[in-house]
Structure 1
Amino acid sequence: MSLRGDVCVVTGACGFLGKRLVRLLLEEEKMAEIRLLDKHVQPEFLQTLEDCSSNTKLSVFEGDIRDSDFVRQACRGASLVFHIASIIDVNESVEYTEMYGVNVKGTQVLLEACIQENVVSFHLHQAPLRTHIYDCALKFSYSKTKKEAEQRTLLAHGEVLQNGGRLATCALRPMYIFGEGCRFLLGHMGDGIRNKNVLFRMSVPEALVNPVYVGNVAVAHLQAARSLKDPQKRNVAGGKFYFISDDTPPVSYSDFNHVVMSPLGFHIQDKLMVPLCLFYVFCFFFEIVCMMLRPFIRIVPPLNRQLLTMLNTPFTFSYQRAKRDLGYNPRYSWEEARKRTTEWLASQLPKERKRIIAK
C-alpha cells in the first residue's frame, strides 16, 4: 500500500540510517510532507535532497526528543512516525541516565505524542537484541535501554487515540548496519591506517554474524510502514518485532572489516593479539582500575567485557518472517552493497590519512 499523501515524522533524520530513509521516502513515495526531527539538521543534508524532493514538503524540527511540547508539535497532523533516533554506545562512555533519558523516556514521550496527536502508525528502529547478553551478568546499558524502549513500543499497539482510532506499532531489529556513512567502519579504517594498513583482529573467525546493508534496512522500514497502513496486514504485523538481515554472507566482525577494506590495500592480523581468555582478564582488571579512579577522573576503557563478548559470539538470524508479513526483500545484493561501501571508504581514505597525520 502506498504512503501517498501522508505526513510522516523521521526522528534521527540526520543520522546514518535516517538520511538513507528520508531519501528513499522522497524517491519512492509521493508524500505530502516529511518532517526531519533531530537535534541539528545540517543545511548540507537538505541540499543533497533537492534533486529528489519533487512536490513533497520538507520541514525541519530541531530539538530534544525528551521535550514533550516540542515532540507534540512535530507530530501534530502527522499520520506516521519512523523512530530512528537513539544514543548508540558500546563502550559505556555515556552516562546511563543520559542514555535512558533519550532511548527510553524519549520513546515514551514520542508514543504519548502519537496518541495525543492521532498518529496512527509508529515504527521503532532497534538494535539486534541479544537475549543471551541480557540474561547474563554482563549487560550493555545501550541494549538494556533499547529493550525497554521496544517493550513500551509493542505494548502501545492498539492504544486508543484521541479521535477514537487505534495506534499501530512494530519494531525492526537489524543486525550491525554497514554502508556509506558508517562511522564504525571509518573508525576501524583509521585504526588500520595508524597500524600501518593492518586491521586489528578483535573477533575470532568462528564468531559468525550477518551484517546488513543500510539501503536494505531503509527498504525494510518503508515496507513496515506500508504494512501497518494496510488494514489487512496491520493486524498481522502490529505489535510485533522483526529481524532484518539480507544476503550478506555470515562472517566475523573483524573479517567483515577486512572484506570491505582489502581492495584498499588493508590486511588483517591472523590471530587475536592475546588468547581470548586473557583478553577477558585484561578487560576485567582495566574496568576495576577505571572504577577505582571514577571519583577522581572518568576513564572509558577502549574495550570492555561486554563488547568483547559481543564481538566473539556467533549471532545470525533470518529475515523470512519480515518477508512473509511485511513483504520485505533485500533490494541490494551483497556484491552491490560491498562495492558501494568500499567505494565510499576509498573516498574517505585521503581525509582519514590527513586527519591522522595532523594528530
Structure 2
Amino acid sequence: MAGWSCLVTGAGGFLGQRIIRLLVEEKELQEIRALDKVFRPELREEFSKLQSKVKLTLLEGDILDEQCVKRACQGTSAVIHTASVIDVFNIIPKETILNVNVKGTQNLLEACAQASVPVFIYTSTMEVAGPNSYREVIQNAHEEEHRETRWSSPYPYSKKLAERAVLAANGWALKNGGTLYTCALRPPFIYGEGSPLLYGFIDHALKNNGVLTHNSKLAIVNPAYVGNVAWAHILALRALRDPRKVLNIQGQFYYISDDTPHQSYDDLNYTLSKEWGFCLDSRMSLPISLKYWLGFLLEIVSFLLSPVYQYRPPFNRHVVTLLNSVFTISYKKAQRELGYEPLFSWEKAKQKTMEWVGSLVEQHKETLKTKTH
C-alpha cells in the first residue's frame, strides 16, 4: 500500500483544517487533496507551509458538481468527507441543506465507486441520534442502543440520511473489482480555536458589554475538542486501510467525545471566556416547557406565512430541545475498535481555546480604537 493519497472535503472548514494538519504526518502519504468551495488567503498560506512534508493540492469546487467530484476522486486511495452545511438554528433554506448534505454525499460515494477509491470516512453528528425530548435523560449513550433522531429539522434529518447512505454503501463493488469500505464518526458539539459557533457567541457578547447569552442552563452535554475529533478521523482512516482491522470497522458508526467535563453549553462558553471578563446573563429565563410551546407557535406562524413570506423564527422546538437536554455519549467503542484516546487533555484544550478567545478580545479592542481615532 506504499505511496497513497487522500481527499479531504470541507478542507477549509473548522474540522477539515485540523484533519489536514494531522494527516501530513501519516507514513508513505504522497498527496493530500484538499477540496472546498473557497480557501481564505491566510489558510492558503498556512497550507503552503505543509508542502515540505507532503504534496498538498488545493481544489476549489463544489461537491454538488459531479465532474469536479469525479476529478477529485480520480487516483485517490481514501476520502474523508467533512463537507456539510451545519445549521443548528434553521437559518439556511431546507433545500440547500438537503442538497449539500445528502446529494453531495451521494455524489462522492458514486465517484468513489467509479474511481475505485476503497476507503470512505464520513463526519456525521451526535444529532442523528438525538436528543428527542428535553424530558428524557440520556447519559453515556453507546452505539448498541441504535438511537435515532425523530426531528424533521433539515440539519439532523439530512445528516441522518447521509450517514445512512454512507453505511449502506459499505461493501459496494468498485470498478476495478475491489470493495468500498465505509464508516461514520458522530462527534457532539465541537469547540476549539476557530469554532464558528463559539466565535458567534463571543462576538455577540463583545457587542453586549461582555455578557454571554444563556440558552442552555439545564443542559448536560459532553462537547469535544476539535483536535481530538480530527485525531479520531486519522485513526478511522488507519483502521479502514489495515487489512487486519477493516473487517471489524467497515459499515460501523462511532461516537467520538473526549475528557471535556459534562456541562451545559452556557457553562462551557463561560469557562472558556471568564478569564477575559465575560459573564453569563443573570436575568431570569422562561421555563423550558413554555419556551418549547412558544417555539411550536412560532413554527405554526412560519408555516402559515410560507406561501407569501419566508419567516424564520428565532427558535423552534428542536432548538429548545437541543439546548436544554441531558444527552451525553461514550467513546468506549472507538477506544476498543479504533484505538482512540484523546490527543489533547481537557486542560490543554481549554488553554488553547481560551488563548484564542483572548485574541478575539484583543482584535475587538483594536477595532474600537481605530473607530475612535
In 2 relative to 1, CA 87–352 (structure 1 residues): closer, same or farther, beyond 3 Å? farther
- TM-score w.r.t. structure 2 length? 0.90
Q: What's 1:186 paired with? A: 199
Do structure 1's residue 168 and structure 2's residue 181 form an aligned pair? yes
Q: Is the 8 A contact 2:299 2:313 kept in 1?
A: yes
- C-alpha distance in 2 between matches for 1:191 and 1:282: 23
How do 1:319-334 residues align onto structure 2 when only pairs under 5 Å count?
A: 319-334=331-346
Q: What's 1:149 paired with? A: 162
Question: Is the deviation greater in 42-51 or in 61-70?
Answer: 42-51
Q: CA deviation at 1:287?
A: 2.9
Do structure 1's residue 18 and structure 2's residue 30 form an aligned pair? no
Do structure 1's residue 130 and structure 2's residue 129 form an aligned pair? yes
**1:40-84 Cα distance to aligned partner (Å, 9 max, x none):** 123321211333332411112211101211101100000000000
DSSP 3-state at the match of 1:33: strand
- TM-score w.r.t. structure 1 length? 0.93
Q: Is the 8 A contact 1:209 1:252 kept in 2?
A: yes
- C-alpha distance in 2 between matches for 1:193 and 1:74: 41
In 2 relative to 1, CA 35–80 (structure 1 residues): closer, same or farther, beyond 3 Å? same
Q: What's 1:63 paired with? A: 61
Consecutive unaligned residues of structure 2, counting only runs of 5 or more, are 133-146
Do structure 1's residue 227 and structure 2's residue 226 form an aligned pair? no
In 2 relative to 1, CA 335–150 (structure 1 residues): closer, same or farther, beyond 3 Å? same
Q: What is the aligned-residue identity percentage?
A: 44
Do structure 1's residue 297 and structure 2's residue 309 form an aligned pair? yes
DSSP 3-state at the match of 2:44: helix
Question: Is the deviation greater in 293-302 or in 7-16?
Answer: 293-302
Q: What's 2:37 paired with? A: 39
Q: CA deviation at 1:299?
A: 2.9
DSSP 3-state at the match of 2:117: coil
Q: CA deviation at 1:36?
A: 0.9
Q: CA deviation at 1:137?
A: 6.5
Q: What's 1:105 paired with? A: 103
DSSP 3-state at the match of 1:51: helix
- C-alpha distance in 1 between matches for 2:274 and 2:347: 14
In 2 relative to 1, CA 135–57 (structure 1 residues): closer, same or farther, beyond 3 Å? closer
Instruction: Give, as a single letter, the amino acid of the residue that structure 1 aligns with 2:188.
Output: M
Q: 2:300 aligns with which of 278, 284, 288?
A: 288
Q: 2:230 aligns with which of 196, 218, 238?
A: 218
Q: CA deviation at 1:283?
A: 2.3
In 2 relative to 1, CA 137–117 (structure 1 residues): closer, same or farther, beyond 3 Å? closer
- C-alpha distance in 2 between matches for 1:169 and 1:316: 25
DSSP 3-state at the match of 2:24: helix
Q: CA deviation at 1:100?
A: 1.1
- C-alpha distance in 2 between matches for 1:176 and 1:278: 25
How do 1:242-321 residues align onto structure 2 when only pairs under 5 Å count?
A: 242-270=254-282, 272-321=284-333
Q: What's 2:84 paired with? A: 86
In 2 relative to 1, CA 91–132 (structure 1 residues): closer, same or farther, beyond 3 Å? closer
Question: Is the deviation greater in 36-45 or in 295-304?
Answer: 295-304
Instruction: Give, as a single letter, the amino acid of the residue that structure 2 aligns with 1:119.
Output: V
DSSP 3-state at the match of 1:32: strand
Aligned length: 355
- C-alpha distance in 2 between matches for 1:105 and 1:280: 32
- C-alpha distance in 2 between matches for 1:303 and 1:335: 33
Q: CA deviation at 1:135?
A: 6.6
Q: CA deviation at 1:285?
A: 2.9
- C-alpha distance in 2 between matches for 1:22 and 1:85: 13
- C-alpha distance in 2 between matches for 1:267 and 1:110: 44
- C-alpha distance in 1 between matches for 2:35 and 2:335: 29
**1:140-169 Cα distance to aligned partner (Å, 9 max, x none):** 211111011111101111111111111110
Q: CA deviation at 1:263?
A: 1.0
- C-alpha distance in 2 between matches for 1:83 and 1:311: 27
Do structure 1's residue 341 and structure 2's residue 353 form an aligned pair? yes
RMSD of aligned Cα (Å): 2.1
In 2 relative to 1, CA 333–55 (structure 1 residues): closer, same or farther, beyond 3 Å? closer
Do structure 1's residue 196 and structure 2's residue 209 form an aligned pair? yes
Instruction: Give, as a single letter, the amino acid of the residue that structure 2 aligns with 1:105.
Output: K
